[in-house]
Amino acid sequence: MPLLKRKPFSLLDAPDDLKPEEMVFQIRFTKEIFRDYCEYLKRINLYRQRIWTCKSTGKSNLTYEEALVSEKQANEKVQQFPKELMEPVLRDVQFSMLPLRDLVGSIAVKLKERLLVGTEIYGRKNNRIYPCKIVKVIDEEVEKTQYQVAWLDKDKKVTESAVVSGEDLIKKKLPFSRDVLKAFVRESTCRSAPWVLHDKLALKYGISTNLPKELTNKISPKRKHAKKDTDANNGECKRKKLNIDADIEDDLPIKYPIDDLLVRPAADDPVFVARPPPTRDFKVPMECVGDLLMIWDFCCCYSKLLNLSPFSLDDFENAICYKDSNIVLIVESYSALLRLLIKDDGDYFIALQKKKRKPKISLVTWTDYMCDFLELVGNEEFSSHLSTIKRGHYGILNIHAKLAIFAQLIGEALACNMMREKLDEYIEERKALAAEKRGEAIEQGRKRRERKEMVKAALNGNEINVDAEQHHTSVNSGKKQDKTSEKHVNKVKADTDVMIASGKNSIVKGSKKLMNVEKNKTEDMTNIKERKEYLEREMEKRFIRTNPLGKDRDYNRYWYFRKDARIFVESCDNKQWGYYATKPELDALMGSLNEKGEREKALKKQLEKRYNKISGEMQKKSKEAQRIQMEEEAALRRSSRVRAPPRENPARAFLKYVNKLKED
């Protein structure tokens, strides 16, 4: 369960006297039941605040529901952890004093370097690569560990045994990511510094629970007696916790935004525009639209890494639906992904070496490389399409199969070393750009404060000068009314004239200073805007992944892809897709969002942030479509005596695709 202030949070029990026909309010994700609507809103308001922590991953600043989802995902990752590796990993975790990141790193390196008995891998023998199985780990207390292996034939039968060094074995990647290992460590332990396993796990794998002597002095007495104190005051702590929970709920006011489904019409609501229905004229089946968008977005955003010229979504959709087998756009896309796997020197590269394939993929041989990949994957669905592809009839495969092969290739590409290194590089560069952006924002704030102080100082100087002029006026009036001695009057007048002269000079200087401040402010604002746009462009170049803009009241997701001037809508059940392609539709969508709901408020904020860019691209695309339509109508109105050349069909533009980034 999610933690509140790093402590467990108890849910409310259902009322004992609840009747079946009674109308109540229920929280969707906790199943808590309330009779009073105000109490229900207070509880919801507590859950939607970012004060919760995921118990499994340690992530903080989450809402209660986000923490639940995080725990569920962490538990799913833990289920993927190989059982044969649990015992050696748990032994390394028990009583370790390393931070989680360092602990996971050391375990990952150890597992990769040290192979376990029973592992099937490839090894080098007589300058060739053969499959083998680890029979025994020979530890002769030397720098390089040796292994007794059994060489296997095609049917995985043992042909002979031999002792080889670790350098002669081709080590595979770990069957899990470091995130999975982190989640496993957190789920398996009850505390950190040092890490201590749950008693059941330690007993199951025969791991000692006695604290090592070298760690006894490193743990403070408070920690030693913490459990005893907790048990002694268990009842008192529970009572205090319940009181704290009650105080939190009572102190929280009901304020907007709240959950969208709880928003009710009010007199102060603005006039909402009817939300336009999205267009759904896709050529592929509706259940394939999500995969189509994902594959196209990946190929376009990582085109330089793949050495693949970008193409439009319409061209990709038309190419996927086309029945010819050797469409250049499709062949080049597959080939680019396969080349990336070959460069990775992984399992696919080894499989090609065994078949003595050349590393160059062409328009004629691409199906052979594709079949090698599908055989390596070993998927039953893919195996049923192998004979069709080998005969050169890839085009007659159904759209589901074509997109499934693409999705499998992209999944393997994302796991290869070259892609991970590039992503890590992009992440570090984005962090550096973000830090630079924050630093410049701080510097801009400092300059704004300095300008305000300069303006204030200049204004104070002008006030002093105005007092001098008033003094001069009073002296002149006194001269007219009381005619005192001429010498005294001349002396006063001379002194006053000096004050006025200096005052006028300071006024001029003050006004010039104000003008300079305003001029510098205008120049700074221009430079700041240009600099901000430059940093945003640089961050956009370091693309990591496309995230949805947000969700509406009914949990429908809204997507915007950088290479397409449309807003795509995905239904909450992932079964329906649509899109908005014009500026009036975008305006109507934004006018239909209610900012009292937290989801629609966040969605509207993202749309407003990108409004100029999206609407500009939509208008540009609409004008281009109108121009093409007008040209076609003008061609139809020509005299039949003038024979004009036939116009090209835009739906067949993908046939002219050329990969200009292809490696020689």
Confidence of residue 177 (pLDDT cuts 50, 70, 90): confident
Q: Name residue 214's amino acid.
A: E
CATH number at residue 105: 2.30.30.140
Q: Which residue has the higher pLDDT, 201 or 578?
A: 578
Residues 73, 87, single domain; the answer is no
Considering the chain, what percentage of its residues have pLDDT values greater than 90? 28
The dihedral formed by the CA atoms of 36, 40, 42 and 46, expressed in degrees to the nearest 10 = 160
- Do 65 and 104 sit in the same domain of this protein? no
pLDDT at 228: 42
Residues 69 and 105 in one domain: no
What is the CA 645 to chain-centroid distance, rounded?
Answer: 49
pLDDT digits (tens, 9 = 90+) for 230-286: 444 554 554 444 454 444 444 455 578 888 888 888 888 888 999 999 999 999 999
Residue 396 belongs to some domain of the structure = yes
Query: Domain total for the chain?
Result: 4
Domain boundary among 151, 170, 205: 205
Residue 454 lies in a domain: no
590 confidence band (pLDDT: 50, 70, 90): very high
594-618 mean pLDDT: 93
> 165: which strand partners?
146
Can you give the pLDDT at residue 219? 59
Using alpha carbons, select from 63, 62, 24 the residue that is nearest to residue 40: 24
Give a yes or no: residue 246 inside a domain.
no
What is the reported pTM? 0.58
Quote the pLDDT of residue 223. Answer: 46
426 HSE (CA, 13 A, CB side): 17
What is the pLDDT at residue 109? 82
Query: Distance (Å, rounded) from C-alpha 323 to C-alpha 383?
Result: 20
Query: Do residues 75 and 86 share a domain?
Result: no
Question: Do both 318 and 335 map to the same domain?
Answer: yes
Q: Which of 30-44, 101-115, 394-408 has the lowest mean pLDDT?
A: 101-115
Binned at pLDDT 50, 70 and 90, residue 411 comes out as very high
Is position 533 within any domain?
no
Express each pLDDT in 15-52 by its tens digit: 888 888 888 899 999 999 998 888 888 898 899 888 99
* Span of 248-262, 409-423, 590-604 with lowest mean pLDDT: 248-262
- Let me know whether 90 and 69 are in one domain: no
At 181-196, the pLDDT tens digits run 887 887 788 877 788 8
Q: How is the chain split among helix, strand and coil, in percent rounded to 5?
A: 55, 10, 35
Q: Is 232 exposed, middle or buried (0-12, 13-18, 19+ CB in 10 A)?
A: exposed
Query: Which of 20, 44, 79 is the C-terminal boundary of a domain?
Result: 79
Give the number of other Cβ atoms within 10 Å of residue 406's Cβ: 23
Reduce the DSSP state of residue 97 to 3 states and report it. coil
Same domain, 68 and 107: no
CB atoms under 10 Å from CB of 300, counted, come to: 21
The more confidently predicted of residues 470 and 650 is 650
Q: Are both 98 and 177 inside the same structural domain?
A: yes
**In this structure, are 92 and 74 located in the same domain?**
no
**Closest to 258 (Cα-Cα) out of 47, 25, 407:** 47
User: What was the pLDDT predicted at 247?
Assistant: 47
Does the pLDDT value for residue 57 go beyond 80? no
pLDDT of residue 227: 44
Taking each helix axis from N to C terminus, what angle separates 366-377 and 399-415, rounded to the nearest 10 degrees?
80
Q: Who wins on pLDDT, 523 or 506?
A: 523
Higher pLDDT, 511 or 239: 511
pLDDT at 519: 59
When the pLDDT of each residue in the chain is averaged and rounded to a whole number, the result is 81
Quick one: pLDDT at residue 541?
A: 80
Residues 333-384 pLDDT 10s: 999 999 999 998 888 989 898 888 887 898 889 999 999 999 998 888 898 9
Domain stop point among 380, 395, 415: 415
Tell me how far apart the alpha carbons of residues 100 and 105 are, in angstroms, rounded to a whole number. Answer: 8
Torsion of CA 225, 227, 228, 233, to 10 degrees: 120
Identify whether 518 is part of a domain.
no
The answer on pLDDT for 646 being more than 80 is no
* Structure token pair of residue 415: 């796991």
Domain holding 363, by residue range, is: 286-415
Mean pLDDT within 558-569: 94
390 pLDDT higher than 50:
yes
**Is 346 contained in some domain?**
yes
Q: b/e map of 68-90 (b: 16 or more CB within 10 Å)?
A: bebbeebeebbeebeeebeeebb
Ramachandran angles phi, psi of 363, nearest 5°: -65, -20
- In a domain? residue 379: yes
Contacts of 184 (CB under 8 A, 6+ apart): 77, 78, 81, 89
Q: Does residue 183 sit in the same domain as residue 125?
A: yes
- On whether both 291 and 391 belong to a single domain, the answer is yes
- Whether 564 and 576 map to the same domain: the answer is yes
Length of the chain: 664
Question: Looking at residue 346, what is its pLDDT?
Answer: 85
Q: What is the pLDDT of residue 479?
A: 44
Within a domain: residue 63?
A: yes
